[in-house]
A = this chain, B = another copy of it.
Amino acid sequence: MTPHRWVMEEPGTPLVRVEFDLQEPSSNEVIVEVAGCGVCHTDLGFFYGGVRTKHALPLALGHEISGRVVKTGEDAAAWQDKAVIIPAVIPCGSCDLCDRGRGTICRGQKSPGIDMHGGFATHIAVPSAGLCAIDTERLADVGMELADASVIADALTTPYQAILQAELEAGDLAVVIGVGGVGGYAVQISSAKGATVVAIDVDQAKLDQLEGHGASLRINATEVQGRDVRDAIRQFAKDNDLRQTEWKIFECSGTATGQNTAFGLMTYGSCLSVVGFTMDKVEVRLSNLMAFHARALGNWGCLPEHYPDALELVLTGKVSMLPFIERHPLSQINEIFARAHDGQLTRRAILVPDASH
């Protein structure tokens, strides 16, 4: 397979296939042969939404990447031939912030498809620091191929870190707003950790998909709105002997409407996790944080050190991925971007390099 990547030359104009020569990796780098790369709303934001990449164009997008290491620099030799997930946010690993465990705000961090060429390609060069090794036999045991694991980077690990930060515990009531590609995993992970989960979305199909995957109460926000949402959750909590305080709310829709709903559900001791991103502002009574002794937490990606634990949820079958993903040939990237943008995909698309191209 000739090494190539699909690059964005300008937002909105078709992505272009560009061949390149594989370079020798530098001492701490590896070359990964891409097994698959998930299509995230962040990619669509760059392509359709006018969000700017940090690296100049042309640039290959794609930051949810799994694959196999095919070349290593001298200090990364241990990674040769390993199956890996590449973290969506790769901290430098050597600055003061990294030393203090604050790698997600490391100012030298690199994200494939944002700071450097990404995973919509046959190969990618990345630092070895932070790579997450995968046991492909165990992956096969849960019916998954290496390509499928790509989505663990970002779509699964970002809510995973949000859930860690929110200190979610067994017995908690979790509310997930927006249960698409990211929020669906927020539901599953919360449930796996022993919380009872309320899922809220405007799309009934997405809610239905989560039946049997951890969402005990599913609220269609086109039918139930405003105070009625809160009342429905209060009643549900009452019926299920759950607390009326300390709800853990995960805003994953990345919309102003979703954020307003999330803020309005805040109760005494609540933790509101802002997982989805929108440029839109919202008008909120910030002092409610004080009146409710509540907190609002953001998180940027997920520290690589948490990837193995997040992966373990998948390998042990506690989190299901197969019903929520679908593979497509990388050569169809322009069509898949368009379909994802138009909301025609009910599952997260994974682009798999096709041998014939």
Structural contact, B297 and A289, CB atoms closer than 8 A: yes
Does A217 sit at the interface, judged by CB under 8 A?
A: no
Does A298 sit at the interface, judged by CB under 8 A?
A: yes
Bound form: Cα–Cα A47–B281 in Å: 34
Known pairs A280-B285, A286-B282; A105 contacts B298 (CB<8 A): no
Structural contact, A290 and B284, CB atoms closer than 8 A: no
Structural contact, B105 and A292, CB atoms closer than 8 A: yes
Quick one: CB contact mask for A277-296 with B, threshold 8 Å, 1 for yes?
Answer: 11111111111111111111
Shortest beta-carbon distance from A149 to chain B in Å: 24
Bound form: Cα–Cα A282–B245 in Å: 25
Residue among A278, A282, A298 with the highest chain B CB neighbour number at 10 A: A298
Structural contact, A300 and B291, CB atoms closer than 8 A: yes
Structural contact, A284 and B282, CB atoms closer than 8 A: yes
Shortest beta-carbon distance from A111 to chain B in Å: 13
Known pairs A105-B268, A298-B294; A279 contacts B286 (CB<8 A): no
Tell me whether chain A's interface is mostly helix, strand or loop, or mixed: loop
Does A269 sit at the interface, judged by CB under 8 A?
A: yes
Q: A105-B268, A105-B269 are in contact. List 16 more A-B contacts (CB 8 A).
A: A97-B245, A104-B293, A105-B246, A107-B268, A254-B287, A274-B286, A277-B287, A277-B291, A280-B285, A284-B286, A287-B298, A288-B298, A290-B298, A293-B300, A295-B297, A296-B297
Query: Which residues of the partner chain B approach A280 to less than 8 Å between Cβ atoms?
Result: 285, 287
Does A188 sit at the interface, judged by CB under 8 A?
A: no
Q: Which one, B281, B287, B288, B292, contacts A284 given CB within 8 A? A: B281
Contact residues of A between 265 and 317, Cβ < 8 Å to B: 268-269, 274-300
Q: Which one, B245, B276, B283, B285, contacts A105 given CB within 8 A? A: B245
Bound form: Cα–Cα A294–B299 in Å: 7
Query: Which residues of the partner chain B approach A97 to less than 8 Å between Cβ atoms?
Result: 245, 269
Query: Which residues of the partner chain B approach A299 to less than 8 Å between Cβ atoms?
Result: 290, 293
Does A102 sit at the interface, judged by CB under 8 A?
A: yes
Known pairs A268-B105, A297-B289, A298-B295; A282 contacts B283 (CB<8 A): yes
